[in-house]
Chain A
Amino acid sequence: VRDEEGFRSFVETNGATLLHAARLLTGDHHRGEDLVQTALIKVYLKWGRIDAPLPYARRALVNAHIDQTRRKWWGERPTETLPEHAGEERGSDVTASDSRDELRRMLNGLAPKERAVIVLRYYCDLSEQETAATLGMPVGTVKSTCSRALARLRVEATSGAR
């Protein structure tokens, strides 16, 4: 890479955001790290040939995540921790600080594309147009997907409160 320092600077500036977005997308701490590394390697290999590294990195992140979920049925499936089932702990007391964890747990119950839309819109603060460009889908699809995802989160939260 001609400008390795530039890449290092890019990672120092945006790495934390990308890593957290990856963890939100995967719903897993370590898989998030793997995902962001995959995306950043793609950025590194293209560094110097891409005009806007951050949108490229976001797109690489989301595409890699969606690819991984597509391959899941024949690819590697970690079984160290059992999948968590939403609503398992709903009977317990939900404190104010736990409500964030609960929300993120509900986020894991969304479909990969719905989760990607929520993360890009409400964590990365992208507009609908930018989200559509990142995901490679029409703006209308982003709107409907986002609306459907939010509705599901509301329903989940309401049913969990009962």
Chain B
Amino acid sequence: MAPPSEFDLRAALRDGEGDEPDVNQVIIAGDTRRAQRRTRILSAAVIIAVVGGLGVGAAEFSGGDGSGGGSAGSAALHRPAAGGLAAPAIPSAARDALARVSCPSAAPKYAAADTNPSGNSAYGSTRLFSGQVSSVVVCAYGPAFHAANTQLRSPARLELAGRQAKRVASSLENAPTAAPTASCSSTSIEQYAVIPVDASGNQGRPVAAQLPSSPCGALVTNGTAVRFDWQPPPGVAAKLEDLSPTEPPDSLAASPTPSATS
């Protein structure tokens, strides 16, 4: 075969042309593909919406009253480990502010006169917290009337930030200002100190709380204001019950205490 000329090449390439593609088939196939594409996009949008909704729901659930428990609840409610590391969900600024707050070695004691209001409004007009509360540290000292033991026990610590901290502060502030008329008898009274921290990281005056095992008889005071029958918000109450002061090391516990020797 002789080397092809350009004319031969063009003629060879044009040989056999004539029929057309089926345009209806193209349109049907195109419409099908478009529908599939829309379905895929819609499915992706639905998946994104569902996943986003679940995420928002989970965040809302954990950031709400904390009753979700588990790891979600620890986002806003945190009890630091021995190293004092805060939960990553607490904002770093709040974490730093909380880290600077140390629990008093013993539960705060305020004058008895201050915690004995004569009327309904004398102490109710005074606020427990002087400013805005953005986070709180709750220190647990265990049962009262065991002062000798509590001196040797490190208070347990609970850090609350965000909405939970505000709910605790609000529930304390809005607790009844009048002493209960009925007498409450309780075998055990747990002692707590609630230390408020504002948005700037400034620590407020600790509030002492005595929570009996019975539903009534709770007493909360900062020395100038008094509240009675405080009910911790749902979720926080369970956490408070779980708090227990750290037992002293064996060597310290075994050594004679001053009261024991005297």
Q: Which of A1-21 contact B (CB under 8 A)?
A: 1, 4, 7-8, 11-12, 15-20
Interface size class of chain B, counting residues whose CB lies under 8 Å from the partner chain: 20 to 34
CB <8 Å contact, A157 and B21: no
Known contacts A44-B30, A103-B8; A154/B21 CB under 8 A:
no
**In the complex, how many residue pairs between chain A and chain B have their CB atoms under 8 Å apart?**
99
Report whether B34 and A45 are in contact in the complex, using a CB–CB cutoff of 8 Å. yes
Known contacts A16-B17, A33-B21, A41-B29, A158 near B3 by CB under 8 Å:
yes
In contact, A41 and B26 (Cβ under 8 angstroms): yes
Question: Hey, which bits of chain B sit against chain A, CB under 8 A?
Answer: 1-4, 6, 8-21, 23, 25-27, 29-30, 33-34
When chains A and B are docked, how far (Å) is the Cα of A126 from the Cα of B2? Answer: 26
Could you pull out 22 A-B pairs where Cβ atoms are within 8 angstroms?
A: A1-B27, A7-B23, A15-B23, A24-B13, A37-B21, A40-B23, A41-B26, A41-B33, A44-B27, A44-B30, A45-B30, A99-B12, A100-B8, A100-B15, A103-B4, A103-B12, A104-B12, A107-B13, A122-B6, A122-B10, A158-B2, A160-B1
A-B contacts besides A18-B21, A99-B12, 13 pairs, CB < 8 Å: A7-B23, A12-B20, A15-B23, A37-B29, A44-B26, A44-B30, A94-B1, A122-B6, A123-B10, A157-B1, A157-B3, A158-B1, A161-B1
Number of interface residues of A (CB under 8 A): 40
